[in-house]
Structure 1
């Protein structure tokens, strides 16, 4: 056990804050908004502070939409569609989001990325600057409304970070969680816990982020393991995230990144000086086989089960050195004529925007992944601005066929075929919350385009293009691809959100946008894929999971990790791609894994085993 892990474990600050936030959320949901512990709502007339036109009333209406759709989702996945469970889902999201935010503030303060925000509580420097710049808030503060102004300050700080750096997944001031805030007694107790002297040395360490996640889900993981191993029950679809998250030791991460991304770079640039700096790199005879050059900016690495982005953090450091080396050697034989980044200062942003990709089944993990990469980039350049993060969580609500059809029909789209495809794709996204990156959405898109193309050619031939609608002409020419469809959908959904802001349909639209990001992530092929996949034998899976994996990965679905082997190989570029994974050794010997062995032998070259 590392020293950091020991300190975090001994302090117990994570489970204590988690419990505090759970209790706090229950308290204010019932006391302020009339959302009772059984998940039902008190009548508006019985909740005195919910007056017409107030922010509290707006929040109440958004909570009603949230609970309604959570119940619908659970009903569609064969779980009891109880309002109580919807309330628990909301409370859990509230707890981990605010814990992650306060941890983020501490780590940013330690790195001088952010002015003091939580370390001195109401006396923090950033709060004082905020009051000086916001006269109305300063007046409230002078009137003794210190907690109220501090709440406004924290949410303003979230909005500022979100606006400047696009860590929206964690700091979004417009989501349902940001309409709630820890009550003052809870806030003060959280401050006592995160500011205790015993923790003073941990905030500078990147590793903290991974342990925060592990100890937050510890209780859930124990519950699932008890269900599987003691009670001999099957794992529910919603159990997969907490049951399969693993913290990967740093040396293993480094070994895999160096022998995939590092090997790719060495074969592109045999004269690279980085070869001698890769501590865990294992040379082999194939390293003399040169592969086509690519600018660093175009090299991509994906972790399809990224957790808190441990692989991405290590890859960031290697990518950074690759950019620097390319910049030093620009114009020389075997190197690009122009560098990917002409200035060292913009390299960190380029890595996050262009090189590192991550997918995970759990929103909590993606929040912390974004934070990990943000802190890593800011450690190189505190002034940089990051336009986007290529991180996607697959925990998308499940919608009924009627909801999907009504929503898609209401979109204003240039292409009717776009809407037709969306009606086919969204039902598949209903499986995303448990299949994650195992979902083969690209097969559905390719099949749709191919079938539509065949139908048009069969009925109209190729000679009458001018008579067809624009989308049909494009389809006949095979020019309708995902990028075109994606932009059409985004535009249509954004227009829809603008028209329906605040009502039930807006919720469906916002979640559909997440679906587009997920599809985008799944259709892209990468130079390098690395991961420590989830592990779970077929005997622990429920019937739905078994059936879906059998349909998607026939004869390879004996364990989640063997399915991930097949999926990862499918996500790399067909030529010159590299895959690195942590696995158990059973796939090499047991008869049940014969098909995956055959696939590996016939379609890949094994470079290194350890």
Structure 2
């Protein structure tokens, strides 16, 4: 099945059909803005926009307007218009793809193709050529009309006429899909046999016929895939709404929640529920062999086996016709279609004819519900096609299937209840119950609790009404309303009131945060233990639909197995026996990427036998549908203990919170029993929730340094002092041992502004919690653990965030022992049992079992100290750390020596020393020493981590589950390679890997900081980051005086960026080695053999600013004045030295001067061209200069407007606000003068 072709067709078909329908409506004077007036109106025709409409079309138009105006009472006109267009489009889409499936498989009763030809290389549909050989009936007028159209060669009109007539004919055999349509929809039929971009040509010409042909690769599931792809764009729109905080509206629920289930998963679900139920009472090797995805039950202990034998006696007594399977969220019927196949296997095995088996399955065995009418129609069609596959004459039986869509009762006239009950109070009361239960049926769907009543009496009365001819017009209208509306409500209610031997479904996934208020209230009231997500609510619903000893099979998100919010649901689930489970993890659906959607499938029997061991298959490490499928089949065959587990539910009770930790070994279960909880040793606490991070948080390098306090010990110290900003622990990327010191929070005057941050109603928005722990020493981790759990030491001086989770203790030794333990493989192994979702909660951390070993503690603490020291030194090597001193390439001797002086527990404001003149004159030599030192540190940290693994794996007795080896990819400090090609596979994916180019670029960034005075080659750390500019800090190398360094493609200025950089290199390393050093830098930046200065200039011109944005996380401290893509003018300034005159100085001192250079150069080039000297080269350069000059002139207009306004900034506002501020005039107009932050 070519899914790419199917997707392309469906996505484009939706857009094309809806556009065509809108165009047709527009021609009628109907748009999303309203209905226009007719320009000319006669008795028998209407003329709008120059187009005539006959009498029938006029009536159809009037009906459209009537429908839109009726809907407009409840919604705005545009929404009504869009909904009508969508309805008409999907109605015809469903019919077109259904007809295509039928004609390819020769299921059309008369055997004549409708959309395509039966001849090769003929594009004219067969129905046009053999119109009178079809099973269509024509009046004389219609025959004449056909002849007329053929004679006039109006094939397009003829095709539409025949297509509509055929759809009406198919109503006789497939009434639920080819239902009688509103007359007006025929007028808007968006189909053409000549339009090369139209749905018909695309379907026939571009979607392989084999995708539909069941005798080849095709399956009826193709209809489901087309439906999913058709809704793909709508789903994306809904997802975007929810990301913006909007709720999922009733009409959007199907698009948001429907997802086609992979075929192998469907087979597993059905074979292990329906198939298993039958085999328990009727063992059959032939059926077992046929059902490849059946997990055969393992032999249990003798006492349990005897109980199972008694249970199987019940299954033996079951008659096949009495087994009912329901999918309460059936979508397009994928699960039910395969259930049909399995039932046919069983019926055939019992000797039934195909005719009797098919009829029995449809009448007795298969049930289904869905909230979406479109999906229901396709499920109905899919089941009928599956039936036709086995029995050719099924269409003639005109069976009513036991499937339905949930229809609301609130649109039904309640007088109908009196009409039906006809004085029978019992029937009236029961109908009232049904009516009231289904008022919001499209909101709640199968979650509705249907009345448990005797439906036979009601159905008998409905049958009586159906067979009665009423002579009263009003009674006939009521009869019609019962047939078209209330009957479906009653039918759905009866389906939901039953108990089923088998329930199998892939329920909707939708968190409570995006449910609308009505649905949210309903789930909270009726499903309090599972209200957090729709999939969990359906776990409870499916359990209630399952009969005693019946089987339930579901695929859901796996969160219910682990999250504390589902603990009560898990308690309920332990009362039901799990036969087997396949834990899929991420990427079980090829259509869904990423780490968020993690799923599991399982089979439960509604029974409880103590110590019954279920089979659990673990496929979380195998990405993709195909890989998981193949590994599943392999595992059930060889029972590989790495992936195949047998566990009784009683084992889960040994683990705090009772997660479904089926892969926990017996040793680990004992560890849980004898270990003490982490929360009993140290105190995990959530931190501050500001409610507006953009307002209260900054990266540390955004603000004035003098307003930052790095060494605060308690909140009382924050009262009435000059400091505004304090370190803020916000989680961040995966980092082990030490790091992620980057954010600051506004906690001036003990957080006065945050503590009083309220909404318009006076309600406190922020949540300053556990404030007594602020600024305390801690261990900390991020709540998002998709890259694996990582824990760090956090020195005194920080406030912790709600996502930068932290744990505290008065004992540093306890913190470090826990840090050492949780930095091993054991932490990830156990946390994935407690909660393998990407969000590790405080409760999960608290429940970790800590086994203390007093003998080994000193060794653990010593190793931990060494790891922290190595990681801290690595962190402070980079200029984005606030304890950064100097580029290691500038003073490598000091850099290596200072490692021994690193102190654990001191953070920020450590005394900076003067920098002695470096003894190394070659950057290459400094780089080699830095690389050697860094890589040795990497190896030492890796050795330490492996030693900790060995220690704790022995303590926890997990030698069979874990090894001490640590992958290079998991070490979270730098390792340096000369080139990208040298980076080996083991370390790929490690975000801390550096190449020579990276190291050189960091050196260039440091040099650039020295040019602006942020750093000085004369002393360590920051030289200037706001406040008073102290010139005494700059002796060897004087920073730029006017805070502007131009970047040009040629050397136009004496202080341009390349000139200043070369001067810096010469100052630091000496003049004798200058050319050699420039060559080393150039070779690191590029493989070209150009002049080193040209390569360096190209880097500054094209790449430096992008690197700066990346390094400073889109909060640049150097700002780029940028005229545009022609590189006409670029100049950098340092944000902390910006003042209200900066833009004017840049304009007058540099932009205008560069324009003069361009003009002089242009004049020279013109002379060159006239004298024919290097004419071609001169013409090319002149063309470039003119473009740059034009760009500069346009840029000057923007600069002129802003420079005259003397815009000032406040560093406390942060880069994001100030970056916009300097580009916005007082008139509110944005003038883009700075480089885009992307």
Provide the TM-score with structure 2 as the length reference.
0.41
Match of 1:104 among 98, 110, 116: 98
| 1:597 maps onto 2:570 in alignment | yes
Distance (Å, rounded) in 1 between the aligned partners of 2:236 and 2:578: 36
Higher relative contact order (CA 8 A, sep 6+): 1
Deviation of the 1:519 alpha carbon? 1.4
| 1:25 maps onto 2:34 in alignment | no
Distance (Å, rounded) in 2 between the aligned partners of 1:199 and 1:404: 48
Distance (Å, rounded) in 2 between the aligned partners of 1:282 and 1:111: 34
Q: Is the 8 A contact 1:300 1:356 kept in 2?
A: yes
| 1:160 maps onto 2:160 in alignment | no
1:86-101 alignment runs, 5 A limit = 86-101=80-95
**Aligned residue for 1:556?**
530
Distance (Å, rounded) in 1 between the aligned partners of 2:95 and 2:540: 36
Q: Is the 8 A contact 2:409 2:486 kept in 1?
A: no
Deviation of the 1:567 alpha carbon? 0.5
Deviation of the 1:606 alpha carbon? 1.5
> In terms of mean alpha carbon deviation, does 388-397 or 313-322 score higher?
388-397
3-state secondary structure, aligned to 1:377: helix
**Aligned residue for 1:440?**
449
1:546-585 alignment runs, 5 A limit = 546-573=520-547, 575-585=548-558
1:525-564 alignment runs, 5 A limit = 525-564=499-538
Match of 2:4 among 3, 6, 21: 6
Match of 2:180 among 173, 198, 214: 173
Distance (Å, rounded) in 2 between the aligned partners of 1:370 and 1:534: 20
**Aligned residue for 1:310?**
334
Distance (Å, rounded) in 1 between the aligned partners of 2:228 and 2:4: 13
Deviation of the 1:128 alpha carbon? 4.2
C-alpha distance 177-535 of structure 1, shift in aligned 2 (>3 A): farther
Q: Cα RMSD (Å) of the superposition?
A: 3.4
C-alpha distance 54-406 of structure 1, shift in aligned 2 (>3 A): farther
Q: Is the 8 A contact 1:412 1:492 kept in 2?
A: no
C-alpha distance 414-502 of structure 1, shift in aligned 2 (>3 A): closer
Match of 1:278 among 288, 291, 305: 291
Distance (Å, rounded) in 2 between the aligned partners of 1:346 and 1:69: 47
3-state secondary structure, aligned to 1:208: helix
Deviation of the 1:273 alpha carbon? 2.9
Q: Is the 8 A contact 2:503 2:552 kept in 1?
A: yes
> In terms of mean alpha carbon deviation, does 372-381 or 21-30 score higher?
21-30
> In terms of mean alpha carbon deviation, does 257-266 or 509-518 score higher?
509-518
Q: Is the 8 A contact 1:361 1:393 kept in 2?
A: yes
Deviation of the 1:146 alpha carbon? 4.3
**Aligned residue for 2:1203?**
none
**Aligned residue for 2:487?**
513
**Aligned residue for 1:459?**
none
**Aligned residue for 2:1195?**
none
Report Cα offsets for 1:495-531 as digits up to 9, x if no partner: 7899469989966862323222221221222111101
Q: Is the 8 A contact 2:269 2:504 kept in 1?
A: yes
**Aligned residue for 2:561?**
588
Distance (Å, rounded) in 2 between the aligned partners of 1:154 and 1:43: 30
Q: Is the 8 A contact 1:36 1:42 kept in 2?
A: no
| 1:219 maps onto 2:233 in alignment | yes
Deviation of the 1:316 alpha carbon? 1.2
Q: Is the 8 A contact 2:450 2:496 kept in 1?
A: yes
Q: Is the 8 A contact 2:427 2:457 kept in 1?
A: no
3-state secondary structure, aligned to 2:177: helix
Match of 2:401 among 376, 379, 389: 389
Distance (Å, rounded) in 1 between the aligned partners of 2:35 and 2:472: 29
Report Cα offsets for 1:53-102 as digits up to 9, x if no partner: 96546645654664466456xx4xxxxx2233223222212111211111
1:132-211 alignment runs, 5 A limit = 132=133, 134=138, 136-144=141-149, 146-164=155-173, 167-175=174-182, 179-182=186-189, 185=192, 188=195, 189-204=198-213, 205-206=218-219, 207-211=221-225
1:78-477 alignment runs, 5 A limit = 81-114=75-108, 115-120=112-117, 123-132=124-133, 134=138, 136-144=141-149, 146-164=155-173, 167-175=174-182, 179-182=186-189, 185=192, 188=195, 189-204=198-213, 205-206=218-219, 207-229=221-243, 231-271=244-284, 273-284=286-297, 285=299, 288=309, 289-292=312-315, 293-327=317-351, 341=352, 343-385=353-395, 386=397, 387-394=399-406, 396=408, 398-399=410-411, 404-409=413-418, 413=422, 415-442=424-451, 446=453
> In terms of mean alpha carbon deviation, does 139-148 or 428-437 score higher?
139-148
Q: By percentage of residues, which structure has more strand?
A: 2
C-alpha distance 555-172 of structure 1, shift in aligned 2 (>3 A): same
C-alpha distance 487-65 of structure 1, shift in aligned 2 (>3 A): farther
Report Cα offsets for 1:242-274 as digits up to 9, x if no partner: 111112111111111011001111022124631
Q: Is the 8 A contact 2:409 2:436 kept in 1?
A: no
Distance (Å, rounded) in 2 between the aligned partners of 1:185 and 1:119: 12
Q: Is the 8 A contact 1:253 1:311 kept in 2?
A: yes
C-alpha distance 543-174 of structure 1, shift in aligned 2 (>3 A): closer
Distance (Å, rounded) in 1 between the aligned partners of 2:250 and 2:242: 13
3-state secondary structure, aligned to 1:280: coil
> In terms of mean alpha carbon deviation, does 545-554 or 512-521 score higher?
512-521
Report Cα offsets for 1:152-184 as digits up to 9, x if no partner: 4223322333212xx322211345675445256
3-state secondary structure, aligned to 2:549: coil
C-alpha distance 365-146 of structure 1, shift in aligned 2 (>3 A): same
Larger Rg: 2
C-alpha distance 64-497 of structure 1, shift in aligned 2 (>3 A): farther
**Aligned residue for 2:1061?**
none
**Aligned residue for 1:456?**
none
3-state secondary structure, aligned to 1:606: strand
Distance (Å, rounded) in 2 between the aligned partners of 1:532 and 1:256: 10
3-state secondary structure, aligned to 1:534: coil
C-alpha distance 93-592 of structure 1, shift in aligned 2 (>3 A): same
Distance (Å, rounded) in 2 between the aligned partners of 1:502 and 1:424: 24
Deviation of the 1:236 alpha carbon? 2.2
Aligned pairs, number: 540
C-alpha distance 406-87 of structure 1, shift in aligned 2 (>3 A): farther
Provide the TM-score with structure 1 as the length reference.
0.79
Q: Is the 8 A contact 2:71 2:80 kept in 1?
A: yes
C-alpha distance 104-416 of structure 1, shift in aligned 2 (>3 A): same
Distance (Å, rounded) in 2 between the aligned partners of 1:25 and 1:47: 25
C-alpha distance 14-601 of structure 1, shift in aligned 2 (>3 A): same
Report Cα offsets for 1:163-218 as digits up to 9, x if no partner: 12xx3222113456754452565874222111114533322222321221111111
**Aligned residue for 1:37?**
32
Q: Is the 8 A contact 1:352 1:389 kept in 2?
A: yes
C-alpha distance 357-249 of structure 1, shift in aligned 2 (>3 A): same
Deviation of the 1:42 alpha carbon? 5.7
C-alpha distance 222-325 of structure 1, shift in aligned 2 (>3 A): same
Distance (Å, rounded) in 2 between the aligned partners of 1:590 and 1:47: 70
Distance (Å, rounded) in 1 between the aligned partners of 2:43 and 2:259: 47
Q: Is the 8 A contact 1:245 1:534 kept in 2?
A: yes
Deviation of the 1:494 alpha carbon? 8.5
C-alpha distance 183-219 of structure 1, shift in aligned 2 (>3 A): closer
Structure 1 gaps of 5+ residues are: 76-80, 328-340, 447-480
C-alpha distance 244-197 of structure 1, shift in aligned 2 (>3 A): closer
Q: Is the 8 A contact 1:117 1:125 kept in 2?
A: yes
Deviation of the 1:428 alpha carbon? 3.0
Q: Is the 8 A contact 2:363 2:402 kept in 1?
A: yes
